[in-house]
Structure 1
C-alpha cells in the first residue's frame, strides 16, 4: 500500500494533532507554509483555527492562488472546522476581507454552534467511516447552511450537515484530530491514494 504525502497547512491552528492522526492513518505528513511546499504534496489538510486569520495569512504568504489552483486541478483536500470554512464556495457571514479557497459547492455559517464556552462533544454516524459513531468535538464550529447537487452529506447534527464530501474534497465542522480516533483521517488518506491511482 502506497504512503501518500499529505500536507497540513501550517499557518495557524492545531497542526501538530493532524500530523499525529496522519501518521496513524498511514500517510507522510508535511508542513505547508510556502507555494513550493504545497507543490510537493499529494493532498492537503486545512486545520481548525481562526478562519479569518488563516485566510489573511494564506494571502500574505502567497498561498491563496496556488491553493485554489491545486484544488481546481483535483488535489484532494480535507478541512476541519476553520478548514471547512476555507473550502466553502461561500460564507454566509464573512469577516471583512475574508477569502476562501473554495471547491465545495456549499454555503457555510461561521461560529454557528456558538462561542468557545459553548463547545461540546457528540457521537456522529459518518457515512464512509465504519466501526460505530465518531466522537465529534465542536469548538466555535461552523455548520453547512446549504449544498449544491454534487455535495454528499456524510453526517448531520441538530438538522445541519456537519460533514460533507464533493469529489476529492472532504470537510467536517468538528475536530477528529483531537480525539485519538483516526478513522476520518484514514478515510481522507484513502481519498488521496485513490486520486493518485
Structure 2
C-alpha cells in the first residue's frame, strides 16, 4: 500500500461520486418505474466477477465493467441507468498498519479490521456533508473478519447513500463500496448487502 493511496482514498471517494452523477447527466435520467420495489437478490440475477488470483464477488448482471469511477479501484462496475455503482479498493495490510502506527493513528488494543473501519469512518465524516453513519453489527463475511457501514450524506450537492464493507484477508484489506442516489437506496440496499456477502478470497 502506497502512502499516496491511503491519503487519496477520501479524495477519490468523493470524485467517484461526482463522476458517476456526471455520467448520469450525460446519459439522461433513468426511468422511475419500479422505484418502490427492491432489487432482486436471487442468485440467478448475479454473475461472479473478480480479480484473478485475488478475490471474487457476485454482481448484478445488469452492471458493466467500467474504468470511470475511481483510479485507485482494482474492480469497478456500474449501471448509470439504474444509478448503481460498485468499486473495490485493495490495501496491503502490513503496510497499512505500519503507516498508521507511524502517524499515531493506530489503536493496538483493537483488531486490524476495526482500526481500518474507524479510519475510514473519519474520512467519510470529513468528506461528506451531514454524514450519517450506521454500523450493521456485522463481524464476518464468509469467515473473514469484516465490518459494514451504511453512509448517508451529501457530496457536491447530491444526496448519496453507500453500503461499505471492510474485509480482512491474510495479506490485504479490502473496501467494497456500493452506492446510489439517496432516494433510490431503499430499492437497492438489500442488493448491496447481498453483493458484499458474496465476497471470497481466491485460493492461490
TM value normalised by structure 2: 0.29
Q: From the two aligned structures, give the one with the greater strand fraction.
A: 2
RCO comparison, higher one (Cα < 8 Å, 6+): 2
Question: Of the two, which has the highest radius of gyration?
Answer: 2
